[in-house]
A and B are shown apart, each in its own frame.
Chain A
Amino acid sequence: MYSNLFSEKSVQDLISILPSLPTALWETFYVTVLSTALSLVIGLPLGVLLVTGEKDGVLPLPGWLMHLLNIIINLLRSIPFLILMIMVLPLSRALIGTAVGTTATIVPLVAAAFPFVARLVESSLRELDGNIIEAAQSMGASPLQIICKVMIPESVPSLIQNVTIALTTILSYSAMSGIIGGGGLGKIAIDYGYYRYKYLIMVVAVIILILLVQFFQSLGTYLAKKSDKRLK
């Protein structure tokens, strides 16, 4: 399928769709960033609860509630994204009035990503030295103060690293959302590459996606290092 990749016809096709690439790039960018932000809004508190709600955590929650929380998170994480996208169609319709289009894809993306983000936040917070939390307790810190002034600020470098992982994962999920009418680079790759056999366009769209992932990852790594005061 790649033998005629650079035929005159393919190149012409590519040139003809070039003007639509900036819009596609923007759609991918905005869907990814917005979905990550919303996943963080839901996932961060959940991740905090997963750590602090344990029996010997700073804010112990009833055992059944922790069980329920874990089950829901595991459940959502075990549904393949392609299926989840279809399953949440009614939810998208209820929340934003439509189930198709670029903005509508944010709903399944957040639904798929927030449990993942919760687990990532959980692992970031678990890296923290328990002695530091105990020191804060010895100074009379309340559970909320420990969460807001110790656990989260002390985990910022690790949280940035993990949010970057979430962002790149959401980026690749968003490419799949072309199936339900979402826009972006993924849609171009699927529409031209899969439905119309224009492989050059698919390859170019994929290359732009790769560059985008590289950009996000480098930015994330840079910010994580810059924010970490342990390294100086």
Chain B
Amino acid sequence: MIELKNVSKTFDSGTGEVDALKNVTLTINDGDIYGIIGMSGAGKSTLVRCINLLEKPSSGEIIVNGERLDTMSPAQLRAARRNITMIFQHFNLLMQRTCLKNICFPMELAGVKKADAEKRARELLELVGLPDKANAYPAQLSGGQQQRIAIARALATAPKVLLCDEATSALDPKTTRQILELIKDINQKLGITVVIITHQMSVVKEVCNHVAILDDGEVAEEGLVAAVFAAPKSPAGRRLVFPGGVDEMVSDPKTERRVRLIFRDSQTTAIPLVARLASEENIFCNIISASTQKLSEEVYGSLLIGIPSAHFDRALKFISSVANVTAEEVDGNVQ
């Protein structure tokens, strides 16, 4: 289990202090694939680096597997880090070592015998699907293959936690999916807790079961991916899940009020709501944008409509009578 308690981090940028993290409290359970998502500059990378103390928090507690990390001595911390490994956006492999030697590297640091290390490295190459690349150098591999080697290297010391810092951000969509598949596989086969830092919604949707939305150094909201993404409560969450700043400008706020409808489950998404509003209530809505998405095997629909201001209350009353649909008015100022 990973527990962050009131973690704050302040950087002294020379021109003044910058609060990268403000009182972040999070609990990540064993076996979770936990996504931390936010815009650039939200403090995601700082947060993940606090978990393995690459960044020392200004205040707060970091507890991983019951051990408090932020008060450890450098030597204790080095030992603890073998249980909390990390993969990176730019892979960070040793370019002058072969893939096999790269995977051996953390074992070499830990003093594992060379023969044992190489044996395990070969097993890991098998696990990440690159058994024939043992003697290749990283520069000879594609980005996706390099990330696979980095994953094998991260698994070498049999860690309990794998931290992924924008691990798929430098990869194309297809390779991203393959790497996420591998991470999911590792999570299930080896029971490793995975923390994924990303700015890509699709990454969280694809593999995470829990998510925290980070906004300006604070946790805006967190919970099950299905719950958070279907009906985000915080402004930051809404900005991320419905990044439709533009659609909301296409309707005229003087004559109509905008409402976001969230449909849950596939039966509800089958209801022709807009048509019924027209035929049964004689209210003609303007569809601004609509989309459906699959989250954790369930289908969710999101519909942004403009309702003529004069009929707003009646329309909202009608909509709220339909089961499994939630409606909320969208403020013109909300992005």
Report A's interface with B, CB cutoff 8 A. Answer: 129, 131-132, 134-142, 145, 149-150, 153-154, 156-157, 227-232
Q: Is the CB of A139 within 8 A of B139?
A: no
Q: Is the CB of B54 within 8 A of A229?
A: no
How far in angstroms is the closest Cβ of chain B from A134?
6
Q: Mark B84-112, 1 if CB is under 8 A from A, else 0.
A: 01101010111111000000011011100
Beta-carbon contacts under 8 Å, B132-158 to A:
137-140, 153, 157
Q: Is the CB of B96 within 8 A of A153?
A: yes
Q: Is the CB of B96 within 8 A of A135?
A: no
A140 to B105, CA, bound (A): 11
Q: Is the CB of B92 within 8 A of A129?
A: yes
The 3 closest A-B pairs by CB, nearest first: A135-B92, A140-B81, A140-B78
Task: Please count how many residues in chain B sit with their CB below 8 Å of the partner chain's CB atoms.
Answer: 30
A136 to B94, CA, bound (A): 9
Given contacts A134-B92, A137-B54, is CB(A231)–CB(B82) below 8 Å? no
Q: Mark B166-194, 1 if CB is under 8 A from A, else 0.
A: 00000000000000000000000000000
A145 to B109, CA, bound (A): 7
| Residues in chain B near residue A129, CB distance under 8 A | 90, 92
How far in angstroms is the closest Cβ of chain B from A36?
23
B198 within 8 A of A: no
| Residues in chain A near residue B105, CB distance under 8 A | 136, 139, 149
Interface centre among B54, B108, B109 (most CB of A within 10 A): B109
Q: Is the CB of B78 within 8 A of A230?
A: no
A223 to B82, CA, bound (A): 36
A-B contact pairs, 7 of them (CB 8 A): A132-B92, A134-B92, A139-B105, A139-B109, A142-B75, A154-B95, A156-B96
| Residues in chain A near residue B8, CB distance under 8 A | none
Given contacts A132-B93, A139-B85, 5 further A-B contacts (CB under 8 A): A131-B88, A139-B81, A139-B82, A139-B105, A232-B139
| Residues in chain A near residue B85, CB distance under 8 A | 138-139
Q: Is the CB of A154 within 8 A of B96?
A: yes
Q: Mark B62-82, 1 if CB is under 8 A from A, else 0.
A: 000000000000010111111
A131 to B79, CA, bound (A): 20
| Residues in chain B near residue A154, CB distance under 8 A | 94-96
Q: Is the CB of A229 within 8 A of B157?
A: no
A139 to B83, CA, bound (A): 9
Partner of A153, one of B94, B110, B157: B94
**Who on chain A is nearest to B75 by CB?**
A142
Q: Is the CB of B92 within 8 A of A229?
A: no
How far in angstroms is the closest Cβ of chain B from A124?
13
A131 to B166, CA, bound (A): 13
B302 within 8 A of A: no
Q: Is the CB of A232 within 8 A of B106?
A: no
A150 to B109, CA, bound (A): 11
A57 to B80, CA, bound (A): 21
Interface centre among A132, A138, A145 (most CB of B within 10 A): A138
Beta-carbon contacts under 8 Å, B106-121 to A:
106, 108-110
B46 within 8 A of A: no
| Residues in chain A near residue B106, CB distance under 8 A | 139-140
How far in angstroms is the closest Cβ of chain A from B166?
12
**Who on chain B is nearest to A231 by CB?**
B139
**Who on chain B is nearest to A157 by CB?**
B96
A136 to B138, CA, bound (A): 16
Q: Is the CB of A229 within 8 A of B78?
A: no
How far in angstroms is the closest Cβ of chain A from B103?
11
A231 to B108, CA, bound (A): 26
Partner of B157, one of A137, A139, A149: A139
| Residues in chain A near residue B93, CB distance under 8 A | 132
Beta-carbon contacts under 8 Å, B235-253 to A:
none
A132 to B96, CA, bound (A): 12
| Residues in chain A near residue B80, CB distance under 8 A | 140
**Who on chain B is nearest to A131 by CB?**
B92
Partner of B95, one of A142, A145, A149, A229: A229
**Who on chain B is nearest to A141 by CB?**
B109
A113 to B24, CA, bound (A): 53
Q: Is the CB of A132 within 8 A of B94?
A: yes
Given contacts A139-B105, A139-B157, A154-B94, is CB(A230)–CB(B139) below 8 Å? yes
| Residues in chain A near residue B96, CB distance under 8 A | 153-154, 156-157, 227-230
A134 to B86, CA, bound (A): 10
A81 to B105, CA, bound (A): 44
Q: Is the CB of A141 within 8 A of B140?
A: no
| Residues in chain B near residue A142, CB distance under 8 A | 75, 78, 109
Interface centre among A137, A231, A232 (most CB of B within 10 A): A137
| Residues in chain B near residue A229, CB distance under 8 A | 95-97, 137-139
A136 to B90, CA, bound (A): 14
